[in-house]
Amino acid sequence: MTHDIHIIGGGLAGSEAAWQLAQRGFRVKLSEMRGSGEMTPAHQTDGLAELVCSNSFRSDDDTKNAVGLLHHEMRRLDSIVMRAGEIARVPAGSAMAVDRDVFSAEVQRTLYEHPNVTVVRERVDTLPADGPAIVATGPLTAQSLAESIVGATGQDRLAFFDAIAPIVHRDSIDMSKCWIQSRWNKRTEASNEDGDYINCPMTKEQYLAFHQGLIDGDKTEFKEWEADTPYFDGCMPIEVMAARGVETLRYGPMKGVGLDNPYDTSEEHPQGRWPYAVVQLRQDNKLGTLWNMVGFQTKLKYGAQVELFRTIPGLENAEFARLGGLHRNTFINSPLVLDRQLRLKNGEHIRFAGQITGCEGYVESSAVGLMAGLMAAAELGGREWTAPPRTTAFGALLAHITGDAEASTFQPMNVNFGLFPPLYDVGKKVRKEAYTDRAKEDFGEWLGAMEAVPA
């Protein structure tokens, strides 16, 4: 059939976008490489929306969990992922887990049977030159299409071992042990009152123990298909640096020179002595609620990260919005190359959706695909699109990947309450419930207003 829009990629995001558009009466061509004789290194089947890693959509608690809140909002928008997830659901306590084969089969059956969807098994090598399109090819985008994306965006993709640094919730940092200062007191115009970095000082004994912990900690093992992918020079895992010598980190990301520790003063150093070593954190979002551990890209396993990083002075009770990781990944620098409606700034007929935009996780990928579908449907129907409020899970995630994240340090991110506008007038124990209560009220108002607009 003649189509109104072309979607490239039949994973979670592409399937969700196709469903949302088809349900609104638009004819969709959905191109999926698998089934055409092509296969990615990670997939096992040619089924649409195949779950490559775990079978979990994580917490389904919409009263105090950000991803559970995202589930809630997706259900209210008739998500095909949530529909199929309920049919394929298996016991997992308060989490939502699925039989992955039943889930994929249900998504595929639903889309194949929809009169407005045509699934074509083909590899697409270049971005469409014209006509509305959504690119949802995920973190394992084929090389030829990835090269076309690089040419169109002017920004190199990250198709190497992407060693990601942890991100910490600002309100979990003990500032009685840390201080804010830029090295040599050099600050940007957007600096905090005293500088750009939170500094966590270490004594020699603390540093040596920390260095040994990096050497001894359990680390991620490579999958066979990842083995030949090199590290990116600017993202060398911290434990790889540590293995090069006990002093390497002190002359790299943990150097203390130019930083005056106000908790260690003397007559000789009234402004404070330089620490033996220091861990620096840099603001990671415009709200100032999330801070990135500078230079702390890591392949330590999650449990080892939490145990070791909580030995850092000031981070003893740290809450992590994201732990470090190491994997082959392809994603665009969305805050630079996409507008607020997920459109390519220098090619507005193309939208991007899913993990390639820099979100992380099954549900987040699906949610961005859902939003791309709604945006495209509004545009095709000649209607204005109004984004969900940033107080909602949809709005917070969308704002983060399309401009609120710092482009210079942009990395894949799960939805978390650190992406939401902060609440200052609630106690910490009820903060998460307050976030979800506010989000549900604001989402309901947004949805009501959107449904009131004539199609």
Alpha-carbon torsion (309, 314, 317, 322), positive or negative: negative
DSSP strands (E only) in 60-196: 89-90, 95-98, 117-121, 133-135, 160-164, 167-169, 179-180
Sheet holding 117-121, edge to edge: 117-121, 28-32, 5-8, 133-135, 347-352, 343-344
Specify the DSSP element, H or E, that contains 28. strand 28-32
Alpha-carbon torsion (375, 378, 379, 385), positive or negative: negative
Specify the DSSP class assigned to residue 251: G
Outline where 256-322 has alpha helix (H). Answer: 302-309
- Residues 13, 136 contacting (CB under 8 angstroms): yes
Q: Please state the residue numbers annotated as binding site for FAD.
A: 9-14
In b/e form, how buried is each residue of 403-439, taking b as 16+ CB within 10 angstroms? ebbeeeebbbbbbbbbbbeebeeeeeeeebeebbebb
Query: Which candidate, 217, 295, 283, 215, places its Cα nearest to that of 250?
Result: 295
Long-range contacts of 257-265 (CB under 8 A, 24+ apart): 257/183, 258/183, 258/184, 258/185, 259/181, 259/183, 259/199, 259/201, 260/181, 261/179, 261/199, 261/201, 262/179, 263/177, 263/179, 263/201, 264/201
Specify the DSSP class assigned to residue 384: -
Q: Please state the residue numbers annotated as binding site.
A: 9-14
Which residue is associated with the tokens 């039943």?
Answer: 102
Q: Compute the residue count for the chain.
A: 455
CA–CA gap between residue 53 and residue 360 (Å, rounded): 12
**Tokens read off for 412:** 């894949």
- Residues 267, 278 contacting (CB under 8 angstroms): no
Burial of residue 329, with CB atoms counted within 10 A of its CB: 0-12 exposed, 13-18 middle, 19 or more buried? buried
**Strand 28-32 with 5-8, pairing:** parallel
